[in-house]
Amino acid sequence: MTRPKYAITRYTTANRINHWINAGLFILLVLSGLSMFHPILFFLSGLFGGGQWARAAHPWFGVLLVVSWIGMIVQFWRTNLPNKDDIAWSKAIVQVATNDDEHVPPIGRNNSGQKAVFWAMTLLIPVLFLTGLLIWEVYFGEATPIGVQRVAVLIHSLAAIAAILVWVAHVYAAIWIRNSVRSMTQGYVTPGWAWHHHRKWFLELASGQRGKTPPRKDT
């Protein structure tokens, strides 16, 4: 599709590539991890060539995800720092959900929901990685006491469930908010979208431009 003349860049090519690498690795981790979680899910191992291959690949997917997520932290930690606007926006979540713009406080580049997803994953991914190392039999099995491994498996499983729930909420919100997915596939949003969902960010961008683009309804 042709990029609109007055489109606003929200994510660079590097941002989008990093994001989709993260998404792909996370899905591979979920599928391979679930294939070892319960017998009813063992069939998922067929996606990786069988149980042994799924078991061997799973921790390496985790290593790659940690490396990729570090890239996300470097690129996005500043825009996800909490501020007082997040409190006001969160208090108006009912108005946000009902598109009652008149009673929704203006928000910056990211709202509190997006920031919560970012910091939740920033916490959960290291927990998954560290507990994963403790139960990685090939390299650390002999060095880790069985009692420690059992605790690590429990924490790893709980953190995985939490990460999956955060991911589901993230995907749901991206689909629910019209044209959010486009910003991460094509990199841009319209002025109307920015005004509607991130008004403070839109005004910050406009104030730095010679000719301000008036807000208009997104189509």
Of 19, 58, 156, 170, which is the active-site residue?
A: 170
CB 104 within 8 Å of CB 95: yes
Query: Is the four-CA dihedral 174, 98, 76, 156 of positive or negative sign?
Result: negative
The enclosing H or E element of 188 equals strand 188-189
> Is 58 an annotated catalytic residue?
no
DSSP state letter for 9: E
CB 190 within 8 Å of CB 4: yes
* Partners of 189 in the β-ladder: 8
Query: Is the four-CA dihedral 68, 70, 74, 76 of positive or negative sign?
Result: positive
Q: So which residues are the catalytic ones?
A: 170
